[in-house]
Structure 1
């Protein structure tokens, strides 16, 4: 019985000594953030350079790898150009404060850039005519949007467009609306049911990709 008690005490002191000797060792893996500054949906787009930001707690050194991933600076800024597939990953590796290796993988959904839509007074009609009054046409605003793109701060601006009235020469309009008094007078003379085209719409956008072709807007007067 005495031998058993002695053995228990020896084991207890051994365990207690191990705990005390290791109680000051903390396994503190760093907090890591990997995200696109386009949106908070973890979505990147094929065909453009998507801005990527990587933040590591305590500014620990790390390595980031991924298909189409390019480092921009030493502040955690990258560009990602997704290729094939529906998903891509970024892998970040390094060592924490205790020199313990870590490996973090971040997944992003890949989407194709869909075509934008031309609008007049925020209305859009694909493969059909927009039915407007002469007043609505004279005072309306041309716009161009990308409804399927989840990109924060995406902006587009209409630089110019051309307008074709029946039996009249094509006129170029600068800006997003008709301001010429002479052109408005010509519109007021157009017959009811006539078709009017707005085409060669030129836009400027902060989307990091070239918009090759902007669809025309076909309008039919109802008065």
Structure 2
């Protein structure tokens, strides 16, 4: 389990080749994703293929290799990330090829309750009382263009009255509001808002969610 705002470890790869000219195609192909996009501030895994398995060196300010020998691009403030390949051809000629990837900021994360929610933490979800029992908490990455799984594995519930005064608090394991907490909520007639916060996440994206949204529920 990891507390997140968003690390990319599993990304489906498809190959994208760039040509220096129509008459002279590149010797190399770098696979990142089918949209040719790298996300800023996180390691984006890439794969490299050179025709006829020619020797090559990979260079770039944002390139690094992990302990398993896999290459990653980790863009910073720039709008594009460049990768250079120095290739030695069969006749010992050295060729330098450039591959360019568009850089995007990480997406916003929205917390949903029974698929209802909003990005703005100040909004309030209105929900019938019967829907609160076993209400499922999930995460949606807004405008995220790649694939990956991220799930809520824990959160905290705070209960407040109409004046905003604190009434009670519960630590929840899992991604649903359980029976015992639901019964406590229904038994307290002073409750105005059910506040969900301090979410814990599990993901194959290794994202770093530095600040999680706050979800407010008003029972109908």
Report the CA distance between 1:210 and its aligned residue. Answer: 2.2
TM-score w.r.t. length of structure 1: 0.75
Structure 2 portions without partners, runs of 5+: 1-23, 162-166
When structure 1 is superposed on structure 2, of 96-105 and 137-146 the one drifting more is 96-105
Q: Among 185, 188, 208, which residue is 1:187 paired with?
A: 185
1:115 corresponding residue in structure 2: 108
**Which structure's relative contact order is higher, taking Cα pairs within 8 Å and 6+ residues apart?**
2
Q: Give 1:57 shift.
A: 1.8
TM-score under structure 2 length normalisation: 0.76
**Would you say how many aligned residue pairs link Structure 1 and Structure 2?**
191
Does the aligned pair in 1 maintain the 2:160–2:191 contact within 8 Å? no
Greater C-alpha Rg: 1
CA distance in 2, matches of 1:41, 1:29: 20
Partners of 2:65 and 2:71 within 8 A in 1? yes
Aligned position for 2:138: 143
One of 193, 196, 203 as aligned partner of 2:194: 196
More strand by share: 2
Tell me which residue corresponds to 2:123. 128
Q: Which blocks of at least 5 consecutive residues in structure 1 are unaligned?
A: 1-27
1:55 paired to 2:53:
no
Matched, 1:171 2:170: yes
Question: Could you list the per-position Cα deviations for residues 113-169 of structure 1 after superposition, in whole angstroms to 9, with x for gaps in the alignment?
Answer: 1331111112113221101011111131011222232232x2112121111234642
Query: 1: CA distance between counterparts of 2:34 and 2:104?
Result: 15
Higher normalized helix content (fraction of residues)? 1
